[in-house]
Amino acid sequence: MAENKKQEKDFTTDVDALILETDIIAKSGKLQDALDKLFFLEKQTRNAADLASTTRLVKTVVQYCYDARNYPLLNSSITILSKKHGQLKGAVQAIVELVMGWLTEVKNKDSTEQWLQLVETLRSVTEGKIFLETPRARVTLALSHYHESLAEASTTLGAAKESLQTASDLLSDLQVETYSSMERREKTEFILEQMRLLILVARQKDAESGKEGKDSIGGGEAEWVKVRVGGRKVNEDFLKQEENEVLYDFGHFCIITLIIRLSKDLKFKYYDLMIQHALQYSSYLDVAKYYYKVWETPSIKNDVNDKGRVALEHIVYYVILAPHNNEQSDMLHHLFVDPALTRLELHYNLAKCFVTRELMRWPGIEAIYGQFLRQTPVFSLDKRWEDLHTRVIEHNIRVVAEYYTRITLSRLTSLLDLSPKQTEETLCRLVVSGTIWARIDRPAGIVNFRSKRSAEDVMNDWSSDMQKLLGLVEKTWMGMNAALAAQSRVKA
């Protein structure tokens, strides 16, 4: 491409006259003769750096080819004009923008094959040109959606897999986050589309390999990693802007479904994709935090009877499913004191069970909440129901460790409603994770929840206690002296 240089001559008058002449020639059916005349003058205007005249001529060339519906000639003309020696960037941009405006009409009125050829021509012309990176991305997006539609319409698994992989690869090759000519919103839309297609491919590969979750090796693991990388490219502060929080009615939004492509609500689409990624690895705390971000949106939070209620319910579900740590405990306690939670009586009581330092008997929890929870999309999966059982057991062990210094293994087993083996396994897991301190004396059948203290620790505690005692004595002595002084003044 030629760099901007000073215009040497103005060919406006010559171009006006030539276009009038070539219009008559092209309409008479002599298309090639008209193009030859235009190509001849285009060379002169290009060498003279007359951008306005060159742009008019190249647009006229492709317009004649399109009006004649001569697609082979149209594709070859686009390629030739874009590769001319010293071709002006503005002229190439004008060609690409003009032809892109025809794509929908070509696909609807002519044939898909001709549309594909035209798209590939545009992708070839725009390849490697920074000033055409945005048009290339838009054309590639259209091609990606076409391959995705082929995957949806395919009747064979192999063809569907190949088409979906092609659609994902086409978009993944675009590094739109580096494009300076693309608006921030459009960049975000492209990144979310990349993530959505990657998730579709990952689920397909996981289903084929029969392996799911964080322990899977192979399958769609590579795609899931790319989804996480894509999520880090999106600025969450940008999503908080009001124009990106336009609510689209998904019905029960919080049930994970495929979201309509390029919908206006970027924030909800982003968090939906991130929730799917987090659920793949059973990262329940991340899921709760994503739902919390959604619930904080005014359009969701104010909808107390529908989407706001459903979002809040899911926050409760996933925060209690998350393994206990400081962050999980802090989020649970903040959620518990939120006035909005009191409107959901059952969920409030469920959260209260985990906040209160009292034992929860699993049979009781199952009897009170089981019928309702098992009907929800979250706990309809056996794995999450088992995870809830595990969280109840872990809560009970933390409570026992807080109130007991020593306890027999048989007594602990009865309190947890588990077998001795399950009790030991759960206890060991909490010790390894650093949640509690415990030692099991198997011959004696005793669990110690307090470590042996050294002489220095005992003396330090004794010294601290003595300081407190002396402080109380001094305070009492001073109070008595003040009272005696007051009495002596009264008697005097």
Residue 398 forms part of a structural domain: yes
Residue 293 forms part of a structural domain: yes
Sheet holding 446-448, edge to edge: 406-408, 446-448, 439-441
% of the chain exceeding 90 in pLDDT: 62
Residue 92 forms part of a structural domain: no
| CATH code for the domain in which residue 440 is found | 1.10.10.10
Residue 381 forms part of a structural domain: yes
> Does residue 457 register a pLDDT over 80?
no
Provide the pLDDT confidence category of residue 257 given band limits of 50, 70 and 90.
very low
Partner residues linked to 408 by β-bridges: 446
> Does residue 213 register a pLDDT over 80?
no
Q: What per-residue confidence (pLDDT) applies to 258? A: 31
> Does residue 187 register a pLDDT over 50?
yes
Question: Which one of 309, 328, 356 terminates a domain?
Answer: 356
- The residue-averaged pLDDT of 234-247 equals 75
Residue 333 belongs to domain spanning: 267-356
Residue 152 forms part of a structural domain: no
Do 343 and 402 have their domain in common? no
> Does residue 214 register a pLDDT over 70?
no
- The residue-averaged pLDDT of 60-77 equals 93
Do 282 and 350 have their domain in common? yes
> Which pTM was predicted?
0.82
Residue 136 forms part of a structural domain: no
Find the range with the poorest average confidence among 63-77, 197-211, 252-266. 252-266
Q: What is the residue-averaged pLDDT of the chain? A: 87
Alpha helix (H) residue ranges in 154-283: 157-172, 184-209, 221-232, 236-239, 266-280
DSSP state of 101: T
* Parallel/antiparallel/unpaired status of strands 446-448 and 406-408: antiparallel
How far is Cα 113 from Cα 415, in angstroms, rounded to an integer?
A: 70
> Does residue 456 register a pLDDT over 80?
no
Do 300 and 342 have their domain in common? yes
Do 341 and 376 have their domain in common? no
> Does residue 250 register a pLDDT over 60?
no
Residue 287 forms part of a structural domain: yes
Provide the pLDDT confidence category of residue 4 given band limits of 50, 70 and 90.
low
Residue 41 forms part of a structural domain: no
Do 351 and 271 have their domain in common? yes
Question: What tens digit of pLDDT does each residue of 469-478 get?
Answer: 888 999 999 9
Do 346 and 398 have their domain in common? no
- The residue-averaged pLDDT of 24-32 equals 90
**Number of domains within the chain:** 2
Question: Which one of 328, 356, 384 terminates a domain?
Answer: 356
Do 371 and 436 have their domain in common? yes
- The residue-averaged pLDDT of 167-193 equals 92
First-last CA distance in the chain: 110
Question: Which one of 421, 437, 452 terminates a domain?
Answer: 452
Largest CA distance in the chain: 133
Q: What per-residue confidence (pLDDT) applies to 218? A: 65
- The residue-averaged pLDDT of 356-384 equals 92
- The residue-averaged pLDDT of 282-305 equals 89
- The residue-averaged pLDDT of 336-353 equals 93
